[in-house]
Amino acid sequence: MVETPDAESPLFVRVELDAPSGGVVQATNTDPSGRFSFSSVPVGSYLIVARAAGYETGRWPVNIGYQPVMGLVLTLTPIGASRPRGEALAGGEGVLRR
């Protein structure tokens, strides 16, 4: 799930799963509730990149194993805000499946 520091879901968030080399492995958009998912992701280390108008681009490292990665909450920081970027909190609806 992608949300703001106010626990709201920004609209039209582009979420990418990037390989360590920098190439995009998969990309999707969040639904109106901020949820997203990727499927058939090979085991490995990746970077989740989320972009939305009015927010800093968020980047979060993630390691994919043989079990689905569920419950990611990715908080986007409004441009000009002082909250640290890249904060990942427990709970939510971001799902990555092998």
Task: Provide the 3-class DSSP secondary structure of residue 32.
Answer: coil
Residue 51, CB-side half-sphere exposure with 13 Å CA sphere: 7
> Beta strands 24-29 and 36-38: pairing type?
unpaired
- Cα separation, 91 vs 72, in Å, equals 6
CATH number of the domain encompassing residue 25: 2.60.40.1120
Structural domains counted in the chain: 1
CB burial readout 38-61, b (16+ within 10 A) else e = beebeeeebebbbbbeebbebebe
Read off the pLDDT band of 34 (50, 70, 90): very high
pTM tops 0.85, yes or no: no
pLDDT level of residue 81 (50, 70, 90 thresholds): confident
Q: In which band, very low, low, confident or very high, does the pLDDT at 29 lie, cut at 50, 70 and 90?
A: very high
- Domain extent, residue 87, equals 2-96
pLDDT, tens digit (0-9, with 9 covering 90-100), for 37-69: 999 999 999 999 999 999 999 999 999 888 888
